[in-house]
Structure 1
Amino acid sequence: MLYDQDNYIWKTVGLGAVAGMRAMSAPAILSNELSKIPTAHLSHSPLHYLQSGPVSTGLKLMAATEMLGDKIPRIPDRISPPSLLIRAASGAVVGATLFTANKDKAVKGALLGALAAVAATYGSFYLRKTVTEHTSFPDSFSGAIEDALMLSSGLAITKS
């Protein structure tokens, strides 16, 4: 449940980490949950759009496209400044949303989500690079494993 006074800080860290792995997946997973179980706490917030069914569908399509695009060899590294900024912004959005939904300050959530996203961006980048260098797995296989880990983690975070 997303509205949980005891766990929303950890959910912010978790979804921020998901944003660090795949920028569009964290808002897509969160929006999917919010479109099923909206909260009045977001209704007067700029973040209320995440509760919309069409927005949820659009974000899921963007997330799927990102997962496919990640397997293309010429895509810039996730730690390049533009990619890192997008992942931090994604973490900030999910953090602000979770904090607002739980009657806390959006700015605190945004900072926590962005920090978690940046940390996970570097962690997942170097982990995937190490796995690819030290195994016979192709990078696309490592990416698929990363996708499965990211998706299962994101869904578990929103359901717990």
Structure 2
Amino acid sequence: MKVPTLLWSALIGAIASARSMTPMATLSAARLLGRATPGTLALLDRPLFKYGALAMGAGELAGDKMKTAPDRTVPLGLLARVMSAGIAGAALAPRGRERAGALAAVATAVPLAYVTLDARKKAMTRMGQTRSGLIEDALIVAAGIAVVALAVKPERRG
């Protein structure tokens, strides 16, 4: 089955809508495991970027449970989603289509941020901030890992 050209980019944008740093963290983990992305992205080969993205992904998961955590739709939250989705969407797009991949990811991430926020607020009223956040984390991280695992391939040696 042939996967539509920008599907992985759009799906990683959906991941960014709920957790802005998860796309970069999952891509960084894939690169550390020797996996190549379809699109070219030099940032993924810089150790500071790879480890920094992993740390930011973990920090976001912890910070989201704090009572003072801002909504994902505040300007800085949306900016983080735009940047993360754009970078990840470009990396998961076919070579030569990185810009289109970035646009597909951002076009998915921004409107879905409002949808995922609404769903999270409803879940919070039923089960509380921490429990709803942990469930959302598990779903989003698992989805991010799945999207990246399906989109990347082993890096060629030689």
Cα shift at 1:117: 1.1
Decide whether the 8 Å contact of 1:132 with 1:142 is kept in 2. Answer: yes
TM-score computed with the length of structure 1 as normaliser: 0.83
Decide whether the 8 Å contact of 1:38 with 1:51 is kept in 2. Answer: no
User: What amino acid is aligned across from residue 139 of structure 1 in structure 2?
Assistant: Q
Deviations, residues 27-85 of structure 1 (Å, cap 9, x unaligned) = 1101221331236962xxxx212134553222111100011111111121111112112
* Structure-to-structure mapping, 1:51-70, within 5 angstroms: 51-70=45-64
Q: Structure 2 CA distance, aligned partners of 1:139 and 1:25?
A: 19
Aligned to 2:15: 18
Aligned to 2:35: 37
* Structure-to-structure mapping, 1:108-147, within 5 angstroms: 108-133=100-125, 135=126, 137-147=127-137
TM-score computed with the length of structure 2 as normaliser: 0.84
Give the aligned length: 149
Cα shift at 1:104: 2.9
Decide whether the 8 Å contact of 1:18 with 1:117 is kept in 2. Answer: yes
Decide whether the 8 Å contact of 2:92 with 2:101 is kept in 1. Answer: yes
Decide whether the 8 Å contact of 1:31 with 1:52 is kept in 2. Answer: no
Q: Structure 2 CA distance, aligned partners of 1:41 and 1:126?
A: 32
User: What amino acid is aligned across from residue 78 of structure 1 in structure 2?
Assistant: R
Aligned-residue CA RMSD (Å): 2.1
Q: 1:72 aligned to 37, 42, 66, which one?
A: 66
Decide whether the 8 Å contact of 1:24 with 1:59 is kept in 2. Answer: yes
- Segments of 5+ residues of structure 1 without an aligned counterpart are none
- Segments of 5+ residues of structure 2 without an aligned counterpart are 151-158
Q: 1:81 aligned to 75, 82, 89, which one?
A: 75
Q: Does 1:153 align with 2:143?
A: yes
Q: 2:43 aligned to 43, 49, 60, which one?
A: 49
Q: Structure 2 CA distance, aligned partners of 1:124 and 1:6?
A: 25
